[in-house]
Amino acid sequence: MDESRMFQENTFDNYLNSAAPICEDGAFQKKGHSARTLSPEEAEKLSRDQALVSDFKKLKLEKDAQKNWDLFYKRNSTNFFKDRHWTTREFEDLKACREFEDQKLTILEAGCGVGNCLFPLLEEDLNIFAYACDFSPRAVEYVKKNTLYNIERCKVFQCDLTKDDLLENIPADSVDVATLIFVLSAIHPDKMHLALQNIYKVLKPGKCVLFRDYGLYDHAMLRFKSGSKLGENFYVRQDGTRSYFFTDEFLSHLFMAVGYEQVVNEYVLRETVNRKEGLRVPRVFLQSKFRKPLSEA
């Protein structure tokens, strides 16, 4: 399922700073290595919006990052993101991670939110143990309160992926697959590598991080009003949460500098349609897979 579907219509506006709800069309999807080409109007808009938020405000947003995500879940409870059943389908790698059919997999969902990916996955695949963590204590509480939460099948904990050592909750070299689904974009680009280093320690050698997040020139990037820009491809929403828009090159450097090997790194280009207004909008995501090498160099 497209990421656009995970938003409830009434709150999708807030998320994209958009004026109208958008539903998935599903008629169009393209994968590849080239980013989207902007129309002349879009290119002009982006080149006009160069003013950056003040350094004072940038520092405050960084300091308040956890608070702002927690307030996000206070406002939206568990109703914002829709459950996603696409994890196994789109990342068929999850299945491919098994070396034999009945192998029990240990997964880590880094930045799990309220579990919209986690619970569908636990329902679909009974042979999984899942670690899940999030920045927001409130989101973690929602996961624990979910009727599907079962300590025999999952362990959820609060953590800042850029600061708190995952080894406090997960044994070293024990995870078969880690997911980062729309999480890295919420982290300051200067700190993204810290989250990747942290995950590296708990991954088994030879195993992968599955990544999906906003790509350069996604519609959401073009909807930011002037005064929202924090840096190159990095913006702040009205609620104080932030979003980075990735190029394949940036992501590749980020992972490889930490020591991962690139397996897949491609743009997914889709069109979604606002049926009420008959508007088509381009969505751009980056879907990638990076492996911890079997032996350290």
Ligand X SMILES: C[S@@+](CC[C@H](N)C(=O)[O-])C[C@H]1O[C@@H](n2cnc3c(N)ncnc32)[C@H](O)[C@@H]1O
Helices 65-76 and 137-145 pack at an angle, to 10 degrees, of: 40
Closest CA to 251 of 214, 293, 208: 214
Is position 196 an interface residue for ligand X (rule: CB under 6 A)? no
Count of residues binding ligand X (CB under 6 A)?
19
| Rounded-to-integer distance, Cα 281 and Cα 218, Å | 9
User: CB 90 → ligand X: shortest distance, Å?
Assistant: 13
| Rounded-to-integer distance, Cα 67 and Cα 269, Å | 32
CB atoms within 10 A of CB 130: 23
Is position 16 an interface residue for ligand X (rule: CB under 6 A)? no
Is position 177 an interface residue for ligand X (rule: CB under 6 A)? no
Is position 87 an interface residue for ligand X (rule: CB under 6 A)? no
User: CB 136 → ligand X: shortest distance, Å?
Assistant: 4
Is position 69 an interface residue for ligand X (rule: CB under 6 A)? yes
Q: How far is CA 230 from the centre of its chain?
A: 19
Phi, psi of 94 (to 5 degrees): -55, -45
Q: Using the minimum distance from each CB to ligand X, give the nearer residue, 90 or 261.
A: 90
Please identify which residue in 7, 12, 81, 131 interacts with ligand X, judged by CB under 6 A.
81
Is position 136 an interface residue for ligand X (rule: CB under 6 A)? yes
Is position 117 an interface residue for ligand X (rule: CB under 6 A)? yes
Question: Which residue has the closest beta carbon to ligand X?
Answer: 113
Q: Using the minimum distance from each CB to ligand X, give the nearer residue, 45 or 76.
A: 76
Q: Using the minimum distance from each CB to ligand X, give the nearer residue, 192 or 216.
A: 192
Q: Using the minimum distance from each CB to ligand X, give the nearer residue, 25 or 134.
A: 134
Site stretch for ligand X (CB under 6 A), options 41-49, 52-60, 177-185, 218-226: 177-185
User: CB 116 → ligand X: shortest distance, Å?
Assistant: 4
Site stretch for ligand X (CB under 6 A), options 119-127, 175-183, 231-239, 271-279: 175-183
Is position 181 an interface residue for ligand X (rule: CB under 6 A)? yes
Q: Are 289 and 266 in contact (CB under 8 A)?
A: no
Is position 176 an interface residue for ligand X (rule: CB under 6 A)? no
